[in-house]
Structure formats: C-alpha cells, structure tokens
Amino acid sequence: MAKLFNNDRAYWLDTMERIAGPVLKALSVRQLKATMPVEVKTDARLQYTHLEALGRTLTGLASWLESGPRDGEEGRLRERFAEMARAAIDAGTDPASPDAFNFSEGDQPLVDSAFLAHAVLKAPTVLGEKLEPRVRRQLIASLKATRTRKPDSTNWLLFSSMIETALRQLGEADWDRMRIDYSLKQFQQWYKGDGAYGDGAAFHWDYYNSFVIQPMLLDIVEAVSGEEADWAKLVEPVRKRAVRYAAVQERLISPEGTFPPIGRSIAYRFGAFQHLAQMALRRELPVDIEPSQVRGALSAVIRRTMAQPGTFDANGWLTIGLCGHQPDLGEVYISTGSLYLCCAVFLPLGLPADDPFWTGEADWTSKKAWSGVNLPADTALYG
C-alpha cells in the first residue's frame, strides 16, 4: 500500500497489514499454533497467547473492518481482512479446531475474551451479523465460558462487563446486568480527578487508563445507557473525563515521536495510545486539538517505533520490547500474543480518507511548544 500512495493513511495501512497480517493469515487457515513463535518468560503463558493475539489484533482493526471503504485497493484489502477475521474467530472458537482457544482455564482468558468482545462491539455487522450462525453460536458459548473466572478489583472488572455488553449486542437474553452495574459503580468510586481513574482503589503511573479503562468504560456505558436510568446519567461525566484524558495523552507525545516509558506493559508499544486513537475516531477530541495534529503525533510514534531494528523477528512476528527487541521489558504475563495490543493505535482507520484527521496538517502540542510557538496554558478538569 505505501508504495502506491504517499500519505500517512497509506503508511498506517501498510503498517497495520505488516503487524496484523501474520496473525489473521495463520489463524484463518488454522495454523496459528503451528506457526506463531512464542516469546515468554514462563511456559504457563503458552495456554493464553493465541487468544491474546486475536483479541488484541481485532480490537484495533474492528472500526476499519466495520466502516472502512468498500471500493478500490483499500476496499479490497479491508474485505480480505474481514474474511480472514471471521475465519479466525471460527478457528479459535471451534472446539474441534487445532487452533481452539482456551476460554475457561486460568484467569487470563477473561482478559482477552474481553478484547475480542470489544472488537465485536465495535464491528457489529462485520464481526457479528456476518458470522455464520454456527460461528456465532460458538462465539457466544466461548464468551459465556469465561463466567467461571473471577475478576480482580482492578481494570479486570471491565473485562467481565465488556463480555456481558457484547453478549447483549449479540442478542443473548441472559446477559448479566450485575457484572456491568458493579464495574460502572466501582469506577465512579475510583475516579481520581483530572480525567484519570485508579486501577482499583490505587492510582498507578502507567497507561492502563488507555490500554483498558477509558476505552472500555466509555463504550460499555454508551452501549447500555438505555437500559437503566442511573447508567444513562454516567454517559456525560465519563465522556468529559475521556476528553480530558485525550488532551493529556496528546501532550505526552514528544516532538520526536517518543513518549515516557512509564509503568507496566510498556511492551504494548503504541497501544499506549488506544484512548487518544479512539477519541479521534469518535471525533470527540478537545476543542483546541485539531484532528490532524493527533494524526501527526500518532504517525510520529508509529514511525519512530517501527524504524527500530528488532521490532519483528525474521518471519515478521512481533518481539517483546518498546523500541526494538527488549525482552527485559516483558513482565511475567507478557508473551508474543500480548504484544498485538499495539494494533489499537489503528482505530482512526475507521474514519474516511477525506476526514480532517487525514487531510489536515498541524503540529501536535509538544512539537509546537518546543518550537517556541505561543500556546494557551493547559487547564485541568475539575470534578
């Protein structure tokens, strides 16, 4: 794609294809376990890594699969990836498949079933209605199998809640209101101010507000807001906080396209900006941030990251690291499949090519500030 078009969207598509292609191609022909290498610190993670790879990949691609173009070269690419995505869901949820996922042993399946559920929520037609009835039944059964898993009192509450939200969307009458209600109420208690939530009762300096909390919380509360009056009341404050956190994220990107390597799970690379990418997709950026400056900032991060040797192995699979291969940055729960949460940065591909996100030209805040441009002072969100 990048050879044919000289613009950021083409580069994003090319990068997305390079990262996500191996996962979807292998799984669509039921060869993921046979071909994906697994870099891991403990063998216990081997039983989770393949579900991780699919759930996290589709979380980032879902909006493009749902809303991307139907015509031209990009349209053909989108259709091919949509077909592979549906075949991959079949391969992972079919108990007779050599690539059948683990949905019920250990705690980790709750996490990545939620990422898969989030993808279904974002792509209700392509990853929901267009599934063959057999595959749809398999997916529903697989998501329900995670109900035996008990979430911690952290961002994990949103995993259970996201799964139930997706089951509701898939037409299941027995979706669990209590799991959703509990998570929504807990996160209102865990709000720390200025657009940031605690990961549980404590606040952590990491990117989990972006990896999980803000994107899932916003999508869940909007999806179910019509069901309960007290849920509907949460939509406005959750959105306001999401806008403020997007402003913070945009300012974290340096003029050079780097960002602070703070906190755990930094090996998810530019997945750290899932929230900023989602707010750009939703066209709900702060009023003083132009969409094109977010594209410029995210493009700089993607290019800086992808330019580093060692990001991929010899066969095109991601390696553990933030900038190249840095295996010591991988915590014990990190494996090759985990790394594909970086695909979350590609959410704005769901915007049309003529959207201001893609067509405008503007420097991002840090680039302006460190170039001597006169800027208004940053302002906190109170309440």
Q: In sequence order, what DSSP letters do the residues of 29-82 get, joined into one string? A: TT-HHHH----BSSGGGGGTHHHHHHHHHHHHHHHHHHHS-SSHHHHHHHHHHH
* pLDDT for position 72: 96
Whether 321 has a pLDDT exceeding 50, the answer reads yes
Q: Which residues contact 135 (CB under 8 A, 6 or more apart)?
A: 86, 89, 90, 93, 94
Whole-prediction pTM: 0.96
In this prediction, residues 337-348 reach a mean pLDDT of 98
Sequence length of the chain is 383
**Residue in 156, 157, 202 with CA at minimum distance from that of residue 178:** 157
Q: Which long-range contacts (CB under 8 A, 24 or more apart) does 75-78 make?
A: 77/1, 77/13, 77/17
Whether 4 has a pLDDT exceeding 70, the answer reads no
Whether 3 has a pLDDT exceeding 50, the answer reads no
Which structural domains are found in the chain, ordered by start? 8-369 (1.50.10)
Whether 23 has a pLDDT exceeding 60, the answer reads yes
In this prediction, residues 287-310 reach a mean pLDDT of 97
Q: Which of 36-50, 126-140, 226-240 is predicted least confidently?
A: 36-50
Give per-residue pLDDT as tens, 68-122: 999 999 999 999 999 999 999 999 999 999 999 999 999 999 999 999 999 999 9
In this prediction, residues 149-154 reach a mean pLDDT of 94
Give the gyration radius of the chain's Cα atoms. Answer: 20
**Residue in 59, 162, 82, 88 with CA at minimum distance from that of residue 129:** 82
pLDDT bin (cut points 50, 70, 90) of residue 295 is very high
Q: Tokens 């990009």 identify what position?
A: 74
Q: What count of other Cβ atoms lies within 10 Å of the Cβ of residue 243?
A: 17
Distance (Å, whole) CA 214 – CA 291: 19
The whole-chain average pLDDT of the chain stands at 96
Distance (Å, whole) CA 61 – CA 69: 13
Whether 164 has a pLDDT exceeding 80, the answer reads yes
* pLDDT for position 45: 83
Q: Which residues contact 161 (CB under 8 A, 6 or more apart)?
A: 179, 180, 182, 183, 184, 216, 220
DSSP 8-state code for residue 290: -
The pLDDT > 70 percentage for the chain reads 98
* pLDDT for position 219: 98
Whether 43 has a pLDDT exceeding 90, the answer reads no
Whether 2 has a pLDDT exceeding 70, the answer reads no
* pLDDT for position 271: 98
Q: What six digits make up the tokens of 102?
A: 């683990």
* pLDDT for position 383: 72
Q: What six digits make up the tokens of 113?
A: 């079933």
Taking each helix axis from N to C end, the angle separating 108-122 and 156-169, rounded to the nearest 10 degrees, works out to 40
Q: What six digits make up the tokens of 317?
A: 């699979």
* pLDDT for position 1: 39
Whether 216 has a pLDDT exceeding 50, the answer reads yes
Distance (Å, whole) CA 375 – CA 146: 49
In this prediction, residues 28-41 reach a mean pLDDT of 96
Whether 56 has a pLDDT exceeding 70, the answer reads yes
DSSP code per residue over 231-279: HHTTHHHHHHHHHHHHHHHHHHS-TTS-----SS-GGGGGGGGHHHHHH
User: How many helices (H) does the chain have, and how many strands (E)?
Assistant: 16, 2
| Partner residues linked to 191 by β-bridges | 197
Looking only at the bridges linking them, the beta strands covering 196-197 and 191-193 are antiparallel
* pLDDT for position 273: 98
> Which amino acid appears at position 283 of this protein?
R
Q: How far is CA 66 from CA 53, 69, 174, 269, 352, in A?
A: 20, 9, 26, 24, 12
Rounded (10°) CA dihedral 86, 316, 9, 249: 90
pLDDT bin (cut points 50, 70, 90) of residue 345 is very high
Rounded (10°) CA dihedral 135, 138, 142, 143: 60
